[in-house]
Amino acid sequence: MEKEKEKDSPQIKQQIQKQSQNIQQSYITKEDQQQILREYKLIGNVLGLAIYNSVLLDLHFPQALYKKLLNIQPNLKDLEEVKPEVALSLKKLLEADDAQLFDLTFSITKKSFGQIINIDLCANGSEIVVTNQNREQFVSLYIDWYFNKAIQPAFEQFKIGFNDTVGDLLHHIVSPSELQLLVIGQSALDFEELESTTQYDGGFDKKDPTIRKFWDILNNRNLQKEHRQMVREWEKDLQEQEAEEQKIKEQQKNKLNQNDKEQLKKDDIEKQEQNNSDLQQTTQSSSQPTTVQSLLDKSSSSSSSSSSSQPTPPVKLKHKVSKHAPLPPKLFTEEDKRRFLHFVTSSSRAPIGGLKEIRMIIQRNGPDSDMLPTAHTCFNILLLPGYKSRMKIRQKLLTAINNAEGFGLR
């Protein structure tokens, strides 16, 4: 009994819990921790190099990270971006008539390695009750813990890696939102800006019919004109198909008529030979008389079997044109524009200053053909065959941008 009581004592329970926690934490060695910190530093290096070389990255860090890089303290609004439910609870705490109804102290709980641990936000925090007088201090301490103390080792290495590349030059000349734009670019896309600064090569110029149709498609201009052209092309293809069908039917009919004539001639010869043979048999064998009706039956059966008409084979065409007129072209959507931008530049966002800063080059890649457009993302070059029709430009362009995967960070 004494041993059981000793085992159930609070001191023993606390010691067992601490030993269990130490065993679970021992799964991550010091070498592993150092390696993790080195990786955080490497990510900071990559971010700094991207800014230094004006390369946009598809890394959507919260605004608080850019504030910390510029030594600006995050606030409750930043917490709302990453932890909306917690931020809403803190807002309710600040607006409540009586903060003590929340039954909070200056300590929080956190799950670590399967264990729930208590963390004091200040000295003896578990003994200090949150009231109307100190609730603002509680919110401030929680935000400081979440954005600073809880991630201090990792963020310090991240910031060291970032500053190794860009130094402290950005701290006094950019705001957090501007720093974010340097990394990920602008989300709004103005393709008319892109058109205004695009250059042309290989025989193209801005007045080329292919180029004018290309920009009309990307900027959703002259859609009615494009639809009328699609209908005209469809009517032309349909007429050509009907003429081809009629030509094939005439050829098949002539071939069947010629075969019928040859077959009738052959039947007449066989019929004459059969009659001669029957007459000879009639004269030679008087014991087996042959009636005229039997001769007629044989003749009719042979002629009907040999001269039966063959069924007309179906008409086969290389390309089948639909009997229904084409529908109006769909708009080139924002998602299509982002895919196109990623296809040409390997980034779906605009740099600071807008799309006019990209200075894309459209180079002619041969005459009208079934080739798809291609791109050199390192130089923002689009290789475009000299397509003649709007419909073909739209189809080939959408096929290319929706089935392409180039270089990028994963």
Q: Which residues are catalytic?
A: 378
What's the rounded Cα separation, in Å, for the pair 355 and 341? 9
The answer to whether 162 touches 44, Cβ cutoff 8 Å, is yes
Q: How far lies 160's CA from each of 24, 105, 155, 168, in Å?
A: 30, 35, 8, 11
DSSP track, 93-157: HHH-S-GGGG--BSEEEEEETTEEEEEESSTTGGGPBP-TTTHHHHHHHHHHHHHTGGGHHHHHH
Q: In this structure, what DSSP letter does residue 201 have? A: E
What's the rounded Cα separation, in Å, for the pair 18 and 113? 12
Element (H, E) at 322: none
What's the rounded Cα separation, in Å, for the pair 213 and 334? 19
Count of Cβ atoms closer than 10 Å to residue 108 Cβ: 19
Tokens at 349, concatenated: 């966002």
What's the rounded Cα separation, in Å, for the pair 329 and 225? 10
Strands (E), 194-238: 199-201
Q: In this structure, what DSSP letter does residue 292 have? A: H
What 3-state DSSP class applies to 350? Answer: strand
Tokens at 402, concatenated: 């929706």
Which phi-psi region, left, alpha or beta, contains residue 71 (left: φ > 0; alpha: ψ -120 to 50)?
Answer: left
Q: In this structure, what DSSP letter does residue 346 have? A: S
What's the rounded Cα separation, in Å, for the pair 290 and 277? 12
Phi and psi (nearest 5°) for 312? -75, 125
The 8 Å CB, 24+ separation contacts for 25-31 are 25/113, 27/113
Which residue is listed with tokens 């949150």?
130
What's the rounded Cα separation, in Å, for the pair 343 and 194? 14
